[in-house]
Structure 1
């Protein structure tokens, strides 16, 4: 008898609960108790196009709540595969200084949005659904929070002049926070 994967179990559970707010504990239980249930749920949403909503999409949903609002689309023609090698992953993380390229957090820092330790992922600059490739030039290090929020809306990397302008405009407390962060990051 073939073993059913956690993604397939989550898929069946969501289909049986269209239109109902589901807690993360329910999804984890439906996945067979797997720790990676969140990743499998994001794959259904981001790669398979399922309309799974979270608190980032609707204000009435709390963190840890999911809603499959309507039936998912029929299987799309684009198939995604995990094509990022360990070598490419290491190259991108090293190039980015093991630092989230959106918020500046590093592994082990406490994410103020979640209260949990930061974990880095690789995010596509140009999403695969828009033709982006699994190449170092199209990848960047992102923390879990930023990776989930990025979704094809990220702009160009800010210039040094723009950053300095923003820091100069900030209040003294914010400037001090930037200074402390830079001192910690560069060990000065």
Structure 2
């Protein structure tokens, strides 16, 4: 099916934004907020309409997902659903979040990244980069084989690492059922507190894993 022109004002703004990305920017290329607004003069909330494409499988990175990007730069990484085609691009119930919903999700998830535990503004170890939290959409496999998209709070690093990943909930529950009683009790305590304190030994192991090869060798020599 031939693509309509992104300049065709008879189609919706989100569809025009998708076509502009495909026809003018190209996958893998950078564009700026200024270029987007110049292409759609007088169009209200064009930034939001472009963000809506993410609900249809489009990947458009900002400096939250790609720290190499400037504050006003974005990268068109991958095209998703061809939203301009008949029957495509319809709004999926509950996918677009309001500010209130985002705040409720942050509160629900303890204002921290559920993958690594980072909190807003906390600096990643060994860097000057501060964590930013946002809502990530994670595909969850349910009992019976069905899947659904569930929302979780993650930091900018974990959101990038988790793109396209899914969670096998029945698999997690199966492994839980195989735990011996004392380990199950320990896990229940961590779940109840929604936190786990790592011992000095575990923290040293984590630090060792991050070292370059030469530095790891020095640690091995120090251990004898």
The two structures have a TM-score, normalised by structure 2, of: 0.44
Q: Residue deviations 1:56-76, cap 9 Å, x none? A: xxxxxx765435579936353
**C-alpha displacement at 1:9, in angstroms?**
5.8
Specify the alignment match of 1:49 in structure 2: 57
2:46 and 2:115 map into 1 onto residues whose CA distance is 24
Greater gyration radius = 2
Alpha carbons of 1:145 and 1:152: their partners in 2 closer, same or farther (altered >3 Å)? same
> Given the two structures, how large is their TM-score scaled by the length of structure 1?
0.50
Q: Which has the higher contact order (CA 8 A, sep 6+)?
A: 1
Structure (1 or 2) with the greater strand fraction? 2
Corresponding residue for 1:22? 29
Pair 1:174 & 2:207 matched:
yes
How many Å apart are 1:88 and its aligned residue?
Answer: 4.5
Unaligned runs of 5+ in 1: 55-61, 133-137, 176-188
CA RMSD of aligned residues (A): 5.0
Q: 2: CA distance between counterparts of 1:78 and 1:5?
A: 11
Task: Please state if 1:101 is matched with 2:114.
Answer: yes
Number of equivalenced pairs = 153
Structure 2 unpaired stretches of 5+: 1-8, 39-43, 62-67, 141-146, 177-186, 209-224
Q: For residues 131 and 31 of structure 1, do their structure 2 counterparts lie closer, same or farther at Cα, with a shift above 3 Å needed?
A: same
Shift of 1:98: 0.7
Deviations 1:78-105 (A, max 9, x none): 5225554555433432232210111222
Q: Name the structure 2 match of 1:66.
A: 76
The answer (yes or no) to whether the contact 1:6–1:31 under 8 Å persists in 2 is no
Change (3 A) 1:118 1:79: same
